[in-house]
Amino acid sequence: MSPGQRREKGVLFDVDGTLIDSAYIHTLAWWQAFRQSGFDVPMARIHRCVGMGGARLVDSLLPDSRNKDVDEAILSAHSGVFGTYWPSLRPLDGARDLLAKCSEKGLAVALASSAREQDLEALRSALSADDFIDAATSSNDAENSKPEPDILVAALEAVGLDASGAVYVGDAVWDVMAAGRLGIPTIALTCGGTSEAELREAGAVEVYDGPRELLDNLGGSAIGRLLAG
């Protein structure tokens, strides 16, 4: 079964920090972008917000009293800094194999990312797994970013799935919260830098170190149960 065929069940994947080792690159890019506009935001605070859409992240980290005209400059600066790291992007261990196995098992595979379209293209190039991907979303596909579920709704629509036939894989509490609003179980990975305790508290049904560990335990995971159902 090849990408593009209609499937009844599927897995939605976050990309940054879940399949690509980029969570801390985003943290650094935001840190530099804030400093360029005169805001000194600690990296630890920034990292905890990575996974939100850019506008929501900026609004969450900066004071309400700021001149919000600066927000666009910060967003643009983040994009510019992150773009310089495109050649350095690398998939996390097992990421491509995990997508391949899900596709081989007959599951639809969708990337539910809120990255900018050009960043998503760079991420997909680094992942080198397009043969196993049925659809992918970017920030252009949703009005509201995580923890709102718009991106996941767009990904479901792109592969023709109902929420009841899907599992989500992500690395941030915002991923778990977004999926939870649709009743989609989330398998969380700690490779993005968020602790197992935080991910479970947010509602993750399972937590693994990264794509390789999930792949090694696929049969007993929520993905395995989806296949068996």
Q: What does the pLDDT look like over 23-65, one tens digit per residue?
A: 999 999 999 999 999 999 999 999 999 999 899 999 999 999 9
- The architecture of the domain spanning 23-87 is Orthogonal Bundle (1.10)
Give pLDDT, residue 151: 96
The per-residue pLDDT for range 94-144, each reduced to its tens digit, is: 999 999 999 999 999 999 998 999 999 999 999 999 999 999 999 899 999
Residue type, 227: L
Q: Where in the chain is the domain with CATH 3.40.50.1000?
A: 10-22+89-228
* Mean pLDDT in residue range 197-214: 98
Give pLDDT, residue 1: 38
Give pLDDT, residue 6: 60
* Mean pLDDT in residue range 1-7: 53
Give pLDDT, residue 5: 56
Of 7, 205, 207, 191, give the one whose Cα is nearest residue 102.
Answer: 7
CATH class of 10-22+89-228: alpha beta
Q: Where in the chain is the domain with CATH 1.10.150?
A: 23-87
What pTM was computed for the model? 0.95
Give the separation between CA 119 and CA 138, rounded to whole angstroms. 9
Q: Is 208 in contact with 190 (CB distance < 8 Å)?
A: yes
Give pLDDT, residue 3: 46
Question: Average model confidence (pLDDT) for the chain?
Answer: 95
Sheet bearing 10-13, strands edge to edge: 135-137, 108-112, 10-13, 166-170, 186-189, 206-208
